[in-house]
Amino acid sequence: NAGVMQNPRHLVRRRGQEARLRCSPMKGHSHVYWYRQLPEEGLKFMVYLQKENIIDESGMPKERFSAEFPKEGPSILRIQQVVRGDSAAYFCASSPSLGDYEQYFGPGTRLTVT
Amino acid sequence: SQQGEEDPQALSIQEGENATMNCSYKTSINNLQWYRQNSGRGLVHLILIRSNEREKHSGRLRVTLDTSKKSSSLLITASRAADTASYFCATDQFNSGGSNYKLTFGKGTLLTVNP
């Protein structure tokens, strides 16, 4: 049973380019969460999605960031016109349902903006 | 404000010793979870303790929860060099919609176990 998959593992973008981060949840999990980890910090919640629905995007920056979880395929976190401050590790987690369930995390995508 | 705060920020011990890490939080919680993160890697879920539980064991791990003090501790017994990692506590609270999916993490404790 494969865990949460994220790709790419490392992504380098120049300022102004777009970054696309992909996440495939664990089999049977329909809830996806994205978190961002800045250096030396804990993870910060960004967005919670179910298939074709954004449930809570209260942690997402208002501009340049968007997320989707289509009916088919992985969840995508998209960052447009990246800036140096976007450099961080982005983690995706999934759970089978809401409630008292653990969130299982992927290995993360480390984004470096040069 | 930071919900979870781990203490100490860094801990260095010898193999075979026990390691204790603490976590304090500010608001009422539903669950508290502990995660491990090896350098440059993803998070590994260690244990979940519910707000109505006081203690939980899993292998060499022992977690306690004191909701009156809004604190939790993670004890790793008979530590090994492979336990070297950062350890994070994460809490969830019910929001106005009745859901508790949003995890709030502290900055972590960096544990170094010397062989």
pLDDT given at position B39: 83
Task: Report the residue from B33, B88, B108 with minimal CB separation from A102.
Answer: B33
Q: Is the pLDDT assigned to residue B83 strictly greater than 70?
A: yes
Contact B109, B58 (CB under 8 A): no
pLDDT given at position B19: 96
Q: Is the pLDDT assigned to residue B36 strictly greater than 80?
A: yes
Residues facing B33 on adjacent strands: B48, B90
Verify whether the Cβ–Cβ distance A100 to B50 is below 8 Å.
Answer: yes
Phi, psi of B17 (to 5 degrees): -80, 165
Helix and strand counts by DSSP (H, E) for chain A: 0, 11
Contact B4, A44 (CB under 8 A): no
Confidence of residue B98 (pLDDT cuts 50, 70, 90): low
One DSSP character per residue, B46-106 reads EEEEETT--EEEETTEEEEEETTTTEEEEEE-S--GGG-EEEEEEEE---TTS----EEE-
pLDDT given at position B2: 42
- Residues of chain A found within 8 Å of residue B101, distances taken between Cβ atoms: 31, 33, 48, 56, 95, 98, 103
pLDDT given at position A70: 93
Can you list the residues of chain A whose pLDDT is less than 70?
Answer: 1, 98-100
What is the signed CA dihedral for A18, A82, B4, B57, rounded to 10 degrees? 30
Confidence of residue B1 (pLDDT cuts 50, 70, 90): very low
